[in-house]
Structure formats: C-alpha cells, structure tokens
Structure 1
Amino acid sequence: MNNFTYTRATSVKDAAQRASTDQNAMFIAGGTNLVDRLKVFLDEPSQLIDISRLQMQRIERTANGGLRLGALVTNTAVADYPDIRRDYPMLSRAILSGASQQIRNMATVGGNLLQRTRCPYYYDTAFPCNKRQPGSGCPALTGINRMHAILGASEQCLAVHPSDMCIALAALDAVVEVEGTKGKRQIPFTDFHRLPGNTPQRDTNLEPGELITAVVLPPIPFAKSGVYLKLRDRASYAFALISVAAAVDLEGERIKDVRLAIGGVAHKPWRATEAEKFLIGKPVNTETFQQAAEIALRGAKPLTHNGFKVEMTKRAIRRALTVSAKGGGVA
C-alpha cells in the first residue's frame, strides 16, 4: 500500500467537504472491496475518510409506504430485515447469494453500490486496462473474455458489474440519495451507474465529493412475487455468469406490470425496459416469456469466449418470469 492519512468524518457535510478539497481522498466504511484494491495498488488514495460512525445505519418506512435503507446498513441487516424478506424478497435473495456471512456482516449498502469490477485484467497490473489507465487498452478484446459483457460494452471496456444486490435494486426502481458540498439530490438507480463508452474509468454519476446517504425502495405491491436467479460456476459465493431479478403482476391471465433486470452481462445493472414494455398486456405462457427474452438480448454482442451467455440469459429470463408469475419463491 502507499502511504495515506486517515481521518474520521464527524458528519456527512464534513465528509463531503474533506473529499471535495482532496481529489485523491476516498471514503471507507466496511472496506470489503476497497481494502482488496489498496493491497494490489489499484487505488492509491492520499487519505481515507472513515464514515463508518456516521448516522446512516437505519432502515425506516417512508411516507408512501416504501423503505429507506441507510448507506451504512450492513448487507446482513438488509437481507434479514423482516419487511425486506416479505415485501422485497428478490433483494434479500440477491444479497444472500452474493457473499459469505463474514463479508455480509461488514459490507454496507453504499459500499455495495460502489464496488468495482472483478475483471482479472483490471486486477492484474501486469496488463494494460483503460479502467485503471485510460488510453492504455483493453486486453479482454482479444484475450480470455468468458466472464465479460455482451450488452452495452465498448471497445474501451468489456468489464461487467459484480454486484448481486444492485441487480435487484435496479429491478425495484430504487432511488439513490446522495449529498455533497452543493447539497442533496436523488438519482434513479438506473441512472446511477454508467456504461463504459469512452470513459470506462468512471463507474457512477457521482460528482466529486458526493457521498451516498441512503437507497430508497418505492412501494411495489407485486414485488412480493419477485425472484432472483443466479447462475454461476459453483454454488459457493462465485460471481454471476448470469443473474436475473424479476417480478410479475397479473390481472387474470394477463400481465399487468413487470420488472426485469439482468446481471453478469453489462458494465452496469441492466434493466430490460423494452422487454418489460412488450410484456404488458400479454398472456402468461412460455411463448410470451421467450419473446421477452429475445427482445432483452436483441442487442447482444457476444465475444470469442462468452457466446454461451446469450442463450443462458434467455433461459434464465424465461425461468425467472415463470416462477414469479406463479407467485414467486426460489427460482
């Protein structure tokens, strides 16, 4: 690790002010991803600003019946919270599928949103990487790219977003509350993370010095039927090859409303909005769900080693929608 100073923020405003005056400063709370990056010199901050003692550790009901998750609430607390398990089960299942108990006990809501890709070329400093050093190249273009993106990628970066929790949050229309020196603002979850484009070094739309303070879940009654399906090389805490978060609302035998998001396929949690639009008013059957899957993957651009992801994703979408339409449960 490089030498850095350590300071403990006394308030959100204090944390934002410290970060805004030092572009090389970084926030630390649970540190489950940041410390790994520090150890291999991916991040070399001038100072770490400890925000772990700030008052952002509550889950509370909002005025309209949703839930507000403080940025420092642990993943364990979210996954085990009775109202989450009852009203937003896909979120609880996504978190439980994502890491060991020890990591969940330390990892936070805000930190989960800010974790960086696990692309091996990003982590191995022997290789060039546009995310580490813009303009140096992306070796995944011609190298081993089995785990890489098939949607929304660019020649600058093919990495995928690693979070399970974020896929569920994308499907649930979550809103991210942030605060900086210019005040507070809300960012719709689907706008929080970025596609790589020509700036793969930027993962989010946070401004310098801004701090996540909470994530808000709106009331979605049919989210109770939500499912989270994760396909991976091994069942024990591996990153997703493909994951799907889905919730279906029925009116008789037809689809009244639906939420659908996909993980393991893009640089950000991928909300399948065109497939959702197609599904509204359609009958519940295998053919409908297959057509929705085809629409969701219409823009896929598989690479040399990950062509299997296209068909795998379609099958996972069909399975998740089918299970949700039957009332939910484990997919």
Structure 2
Amino acid sequence: MNPFRYERASDASMAIAMLAQAPEGAFLGGGTNLVDLMKLGVAKPELLIDISHLPYDRVELLADGSVRIGAAVRNGDLAADRTIRTRYPLLAHALLAGASGQLRNLATTGGNLLQRTRCVYFQDVSKPCNKREPGSGCPAREGYHRNLAIFGASEACVATHPSDMAVAMVALDAMVRVLGPSGERTIPLVHFHRLPGDEPQRDTVLDHGELITAVDLPPLAFATRSHYRKVRERASYAFALVSVAAAIDVVDDMVRDVRIAFGGVAHVPWR
C-alpha cells in the first residue's frame, strides 16, 4: 500500500473542495472496495477524504411519493428498511444477493455504485490492463474471461460492472444526485456508468470532485411486481456470472410496462 494522507471533511462542501485540489485523491465511505484495491496496489490515492460521517445516512419518503436513499446508507440497513422491502422488494433482494452480512454492514449506497470491476487482470498489478494503465493492453480478451462482458465491450476492455444493487436500481429508473465544484446535478442511473470505448479507465460520467449524495427511486406501479435472479459459481459471496432484475406493471391482466436489466454481462448494468 502506498503512503497517503487522511483528512476528515466537516461537510460536503469541504470534502468537494479538498478533492478538487487533489488530482490523486479519493473519498472514503465504507471503504470495502477502495481499501482492498489499495492493498493490491491498484488504487494509489495520495489523499483519503473521510465522508463517512456526512448526513446522507437516511431513507426518506418524499412528497411526490418517491424515495430518497442517502449515499451513506449502509447496504444492510437499506435491505432491511421497511419502505424498501414493501415498495421496492426487487432492490432488497438484490442487496441481499451481494457480498456477506459483514460487508453489507459497511458498504454504502454511493460506494456500491462506484465499485470497480473484479476482472482478475485489473486486480493483478503484474499484468497489463487498459483500465488500470491506459494503453498497456487487455490480456483478458485472449485469457480468462468466463465472468467478463458479452455486451458493449471494446477492443480496449471486456470488464464487467460487479454491483447487484445497481442492476436493480437501473430496472427501477433510479436517479443519482451528485454535488460537485460546479453545483448539483441529477443523472439517470441508466446513463451513470460508461461503456469502455477507448477510455476504459473511466467507469462513470462523474467529474473529478463530484460526490454522490443520494439516489432517488420514483413511485413506479411495477416496483412491487418484480424479481431478482443471480447465477454465480457458489451459493454466496460470489459475483454474478449473470443476473437479471425484472419488473412488470399489469393492469386488467395486460402487461402495461416492463423493465429488465442484466448484471455480469457488460461494463454497465445492461438495460
């Protein structure tokens, strides 16, 4: 692990300003993915900005019927939340399909969206990897790629996005709220992650210094008629070979609307 500085931001504005001045800095929430990547030598932040105590740890029912999930809400708490279990059981099931109970008690909503691929070549610093070192090559194309992309891949990268939660949220038309040096903006989650193209090092459309503050779920009629299915190599604590989040709206025995999203098959949750 490389040497780094640690700072604790007192509020979101301070955190954003600090990261804007640190090109090689990173926000630290639950740390379940970032710290692992630091230990592997993949992530080498010079500055860690602790945002774990910022006031984004609540699930709120808004006046328009939508639900706002704070970026610091732990995965375990979100899966157990009564509103989520009642109105968005698809999301609760997807969360419980991921990681382990101990990790879900640390991992946050924002961090889950930002977790990086589990491609073995990306995680092995002795191997070339365009995502880790642009222009170095992609050995996964000719090597081990059982769990890599079949949709949306490029010559530069065939990595997949590992999140179960993101797949469910994409099916539910989630919106990501972010705050950055230029102010606040809202991004549809279906457009939040990027296909690799010729810049596989960029996982999302976030600009440097932007902080996820919340995820909003709209009040959809089909949210309760849904299912999440995950195929993996072992019964628990394994990433998806393929997963699917499906939801339908049925009125008078007629299907009025359908949402289907896949995980484990592309650089993004595929819808």
> Smaller-chain TM-score range?
over 0.9
Cα offset, 1:62, TM superposition: 1.4
Is residue 130–residue 156 contact of structure 1 (8 Å, CA) maintained in 2? Answer: yes
> CA–CA distance in 2 between the matches of 1:222 and 1:122?
37
Aligned to 2:212: 212
**Distance (whole Å) between structure 1 residues aligned to residue 194 and residue 120 of structure 2:** 20
Query: 1:107 and 1:73 mapped to 2: Cα distance?
Result: 8
Deviation at 1:254, TM superposition (A): 2.6
Equivalents in 2 of 1:66, 1:78: separation in Å? 15
For residue 202 of structure 2, what is the aligned residue in structure 1? Answer: 202
1:93-129 superposed Cα distances (whole Å, 9 cap, x missing partner) = 0000001100000000000000000000000111100
Deviation beyond 6 Å, 4+ runs, structure 1? none
SS at match of 2:102: helix
Displacement after TM superposition at 1:187 (Å): 0.4
Partner of 2:32: 32
Q: Distance in 2 between matches of 1:220 and 1:40?
A: 41
Please name the residue that 1:165 is paired with.
Answer: 165
Determine the C-alpha separation between the residues in 1 that align with 2:91 and 2:133: 34
Residue equivalent to 1:175: 175
Q: What TM-score do the two structures reach when normalised by structure 2?
A: 0.99
Aligned length: 271
> What stretches of structure 2 of length at least 5 have no aligned partner?
none
Partner of 2:98: 98
CA offset at residue 63 of structure 1? 1.8
- The unaligned stretches of length 5 or more in structure 1 are 272-331
SS in 2 for 1:106: coil
Give aligned-pair identity as a percent.
56
Tell me what 2:67 maps to. Answer: 67
Report the residue type matching 1:109 in the other structure. Answer: T
Q: How far off is 1:251 after superposition?
A: 2.5
Greater relative contact order (CA < 8 Å, ≥ 6 in sequence)? 2
Tell me how large the CA RMSD over aligned residues is: 0.7
Q: Which residue of structure 1 aligns with residue 261 of structure 2?
A: 261
Q: Deviations over 1:73-100 (max 9, x none)?
A: 0001110001111110010000000011
Q: 8 Å contact 1:262–1:269 — kept in the other structure?
A: yes
Aligned equivalents of 1:249, 1:16: Cα separation in 2:
40
The answer to whether residue 124 in structure 2 is matched with residue 124 in structure 1 is yes
Secondary structure of the 1:14 match is: helix
Alignment-derived partner of residue 315 in structure 1: none
Quick check: which one's helix share is greater? Answer: 1
Aligned ranges 1:1-331 → 2 under 5 Å: 1-271=1-271
Aligned to 1:295: none
d(CA) in 2 for partners of 1:151, 1:256 = 27
**SS class of match (1:270):** coil
TM-score (norm 1): 0.81
Q: Deviations for 1:194-230, whole angstroms, at most 9, x for unmatched residues?
A: 0000000000000110000000000012210111000
User: Cα distance, 1:250 vs. partner?
Assistant: 1.5
